[in-house]
Amino acid sequence: MSERLQKIIAAAGIASRRKAEELIVQGRVTVNGRVVSELGSKADPTHDHIRVNGKRVQAPQRRIYLLLNKPVGYVSTVRDPQGRPTVMSLLRGIKERVYPVGRLDYHSSGLLILTNDGELANALMSRRSAIPRTYHVKLEGHPAPEDLRRLEQGIPLDGRRTAPARLRALAGPPRGTLAVPGRAAGRPQPVVASHRPPKPWYELTLVEGRYHQVRRMFERIGQRVIKLKRVRIAFLTDQGLKPGQYRALTPAEVERLRTWRAGRAQ
């Protein structure tokens, strides 16, 4: 079936649709050996040889969407140069080449989406989508309330302020998944420490995902994160998925992710 070239390129995860249009106009896309630089041109991804910057765009496979509860001790990449176990080794009987959307550190656990839908993966990772991700973190020590408020309001990180975050103290080690309070993302919430366990737990919700962001934010206020678990991505929680287990997302969940808009109550 013929489709617009920018759609095919985006679906293959090579670039967003807008970027794909730029690549086409710049003459960096060929179909069966011919440069196609006109927007609106169509091709059939299963029969035509489409290349971007000389690299073959693979024909689309069946779309797969998985939600994995990543255990500690796995890297969230397809391959690891250091030979550590990857999240791919947890998948059974999945023939399609799925890959993780974003990263969870080797020492972090919790929810990770895997898919072969490049367009959705790009959308979920883009800053504009502002998908909230909620983490439970255990700290080595007790942060000062004013430092926690700084984290909520945003701190400079890599020369750019972090987006406003939600942060609250948890009464103790989290059991299962806690609901995220229903208030709008971005509005700072009061942080109330209910008592002082030796190593406190906090719940942090971010609408961006920079490199090692949670650990580095706490480092900036002098606190070491000793445990980190992602307990929620948008509306998805682990709902009984044990570490190492995964499930397919339902079509309704995929659609909800696809149409997610920042700030919209879902």
Instruction: Kindly give, in sequence order, each residue whose CB lies less than 8 Å from that of residue 47, ignoring residues fewer than 6 positions away.
Output: none
212 part of the interface to ligand URA, by CB under 6 A: yes
Instruction: Write the interaction track for ligand URA spanning residues 228-247; mark x where CB under 6 A is met and - where it is not.
Output: x-------------------
Q: Please report how close the Cβ of residue 148 comes to ligand URA at its closest, in angstroms.
A: 17
CB–CB of 28/53 below 8 Å?
yes
220 contributes a contact to ligand URA by CB under 6 A: no
Give the contacts of 264 (CB within 8 A, at least 6 positions apart). none
Nearest approach, Cβ of 161 to ligand URA (angstroms)? 17
Q: How far is the CB of 247 from ligand URA (least distance, A)?
A: 21
Give the whole-angstrom CA distance, residue 243 versus residue 229. Answer: 11
Residue among 214, 234, 236, 249 that touches ligand URA (CB under 6 A): 214
Q: Of residues 79-138, which lie at the interface with ligand URA (CB under 6 A)? A: 104-105, 108
**Least distance in angstroms from the C-beta of 212 to ligand URA:** 4
Quick one: which of 16, 115, 205, 213 contacts ligand URA (CB under 6 A)?
Answer: 213
Known active-site residue 48: no
Residues known to be catalytic:
105
Q: Which residues bind ligand URA (CB under 6 A)?
A: 104-105, 108, 212-215, 228
